[in-house]
Copies of this chain bind each other. A is one copy, B any other.
Amino acid sequence: MQILAAGILTPTEITIFLLALAVLLGMARLLGEVAKKFGQPTVLGEILAGVILGATVLGNVSSETYSWLFPEYLADHQSGNDIYYDKLDPNNDNQPYTVGAIDPSTGEAITLTIPDKPGAEVDDKADGRRVPSLVKVGLESFFVLSVCLLLLVAGLEVDLSIVTKQGKAAVAVSLMGMIVPFVIGFGVAYLLANNAADWIGYNEDSDKALPFALFLGIAMSITALPVIAKILLDLNMFKSDMGMLIMSSAMVNDLLGWIGFAMVLAMITPPGEATMDLQFVIFATLLFVGFMLTAGRYLANKTIPLVQAHSSWPGGILGFVFVLALLCAALTEWIGIHAIFGAFLAGIALGDSKHLTARTRETIEQIVTYIFAPIFFAGVALRIDFINNFDFVIVIIVLVVAIIGKVFGCYIGAKIAGLSKRESWAIGFGMSARGAMEIILGQIALSFELITEELFVAIVIMAIATSVIAGPLMQKALDRRQQKRFADLLSGKAFVSRLKAVTRKDAIQELAQVAATVTGVEATAISDAVWEREQTMSTGIGHGVAVPHGRIGGLAKPQLIVGVSPAGIDFDAGDGVAAEIICMLLTPTEDQLAQIEMLRAVAEAFSDPARHRSAVEAEGYTQFRAAISVGSAPAH
């Protein structure tokens, strides 16, 4: 098949490009949701999607399908051979090309020298670079854009004003939380690189032990703002003093970590790239960072109202945010660090402005988090064989250093700031989550050939493992439990779509019947307990919701039973509105907290009248569940 003349991509290339995006996004979203269902970070599922679709699984099961869907190189359409460029000695621009040819007179194979002829072939394919497949270039460009937008969103989340409010405590936690893991990480990496390179996956030929060790130090010292925010939200601690302290420490941490990483990248010349002036790169980087954190923030804050006043909404502000992020990204890429730094700093400058509305942030965040990020993280894992590059020693060393360094550093910082032992441990565990940011950092280091694929795999595993354990460990340290949301309590078996009952007592008995089949406790025991409670004081909480409840002996765990009655059942509510949604809350006698938690979840679920309405009108369990889920997600 030949190439479409006027278009750039052939129909086949377009088909594969769109299909590859669809498959990456679909698989990543699906596994992301599965990970979430099991209480794990979404990025775990997204990486797993890449592992399954990529070199690790699909590449081994059916390498033909894999290289059809994610082609590597551009092939000549006639001969099927790959096309090469840049095959000659980079230090000698005028060296003529060498080709194998047939001597026209003798018919024998000879080697010829061709002056100034492009694309001719030399003998050793390893000397030249093949032109990548155009589908791969399309995907790769999309990944570049995605990672910039991911860092833009990360930047938008950084609020420097809350950092200054937290003052000394935040500084102590974040500094100690960076210095300790940095020193340990740097020390271990430098020592191993020079003495036992295999143990840390250091490529001795690269002769870059110092930047390598600096990189690992920084990789150990960064933290993952979104993961931490999510944990704090789950524990209902986001707005607490401690939540704010952790958030602001993490922000300082992030900012310093990324600046440090930019410095390391400035130190090394990417493979094949012309050597850059180190002093220029570092000077330009610091100048840009300084500008964005001062004048940039000020100007962004002044410009946003101007844009919103004189343009259509939200087109003006969305365009402004994207253009600024792309421009800053192009600038830092040109400086010689990486595009993501520009996008990150643009995010910080824009995000600090109170004029940027929540609605605008939400739109950007949702598209980036749910469309660009899944494709990017699945793409990150695509080309790496996670099984062949899994090295037990490296994984263990990275994991141990990452956890010990961070937990102790933050613990010490928190103690200095005057927090209790228990709180200090909690901060240490929380801050040790690395999440998606660590994976991005590793991916860039890999593309700069600063680390090996083995070390990259170890870093990905460490990033995910620390994110997985941070929440539970923090919960344990603080003895708090994760807030349940209404949807988590719902189940199809404990749901009655249309209650037959028309009175309070009948409704309780009807729901108790359902509860009995779900819990194994006798129906009469349940209805008696709930009815007894109901008689002391009615449980209509207004707005058409009733919450009959009771403590039930022998119940294994808290149980919610929901019944819907479009006609309404009188539960004697304060506002006189008959209950359309009856949530029966059953809790074990010994669990003191469960009941109040469930009540909170019910109240939250039906706080929005529109959601309440569509829940009542829902036909069957799926629609009901959809109705209460829609629009109820927290920002993180």
Contact = CB atoms under 8 A, between A and B. Distances in A.
Interface in A1-55: 1-11, 14-19, 21-22, 25-26, 29, 32-33, 36
A76 B100 CA distance: 19
A351 to B, nearest CB: 17
- The size class of the interface chain A forms with chain B is 35 or more
B118 A83 contact: yes
Max count, chain B CB within 10 A of own CB: residue among A16, A32, A138: A138
B309 A623 contact: yes
B370 A33 contact: no
Nearest to A373: B315
A357 B119 contact: no
A86 B74 CA distance: 11
A576 B19 CA distance: 62
Contact of A145 (B21, B304, B326, B359): B21
Contact of A630 (B115, B310, B323, B357): B357
Contacts of A631: 313-314, 357, 359
A270 B11 contact: yes
Contacts of A29: 311, 315-316, 319-320, 323
Contact of A9 (B90, B110, B144, B622): B144
B99 A319 contact: no
A79 interface: yes
A78 interface: yes
Nearest to A2: B272
Given A273-B4, A623-B305, A86 B77 contact: yes
Interface string A265-309: 000001111100000000000000000000000000000111111
Given A29-B319, A88-B78, A102-B112, A17 B119 contact: no
Interface string A557-595: 000000000000000000000000000000000000000
Contact of A112 (B79, B101, B138): B101
B449 A327 contact: no
Contacts of A425: none
A20 B477 CA distance: 50
A116 interface: yes
20 contacts: A1-B274, A2-B90, A3-B129, A4-B270, A4-B272, A9-B141, A9-B144, A11-B334, A14-B333, A17-B144, A25-B322, A76-B86, A99-B120, A104-B113, A119-B120, A120-B121, A305-B623, A309-B624, A313-B630, A315-B366
Interface of A: 1-11, 14-19, 21-22, 25-26, 29, 32-33, 36, 74, 76-79, 81-86, 88, 90, 93, 95-96, 99-102, 104, 110, 112-121, 129, 131-132, 134, 136-142, 144-145, 148, 270-274, 304-316, 318-320, 322-323, 326-327, 329-330, 333-334, 336, 339, 355, 357, 359, 363, 366-367, 369-371, 374, 446-449, 621-626, 629-633
